[in-house]
Amino acid sequence: MEGLSHMTFIVKDLEKATVFFERIFDAEEVYSSGDDIFSLSREKFFLVGDLWIAIMEGDSLPSKTYNHTAFKIDDADYEVYLERIVALGLEIKAGRPRVDGEASSIYFYDFDNHLFELHTGTLGERLCKYKEK
């Protein structure tokens, strides 16, 4: 295995989802199918850093869960991202209980009930904190 290829999110409104990914993640749109359908539905592709994210038109998730996708952010950028989320009027989910000294996270839902997390820590840092307890 070479790693993660891409992530696909099914969204009700491609344009609204485009605003979400561009404003929250600084995503760069690299493809739009327009009215053509080459896969299951109309779609767009984005790059977030080197990560390929696809959005496809379809029904929103019927409910919200804790299943989520987490992106690493720098601790110094926490407030910048929080302001972006608030500016789009997105629902922010209360964070989970944490071990003292563990990194910070912002959990929030997109317009289609997908849960995202912006996390300031790393796996190594978390494991170290867990070992201290």
- Within 46-122, residue ranges assigned H as helices are 78-87
Distance CA 33, CA 45 (A): 9
Measuring CA to CA, how many Å separate 125 from each of 3, 64, 98?
A: 22, 28, 13
83 belongs to the catalytic site = no
In the set 22, 43, 102, 132, the catalytic residue is 43
**Residues with a known catalytic role:** 43
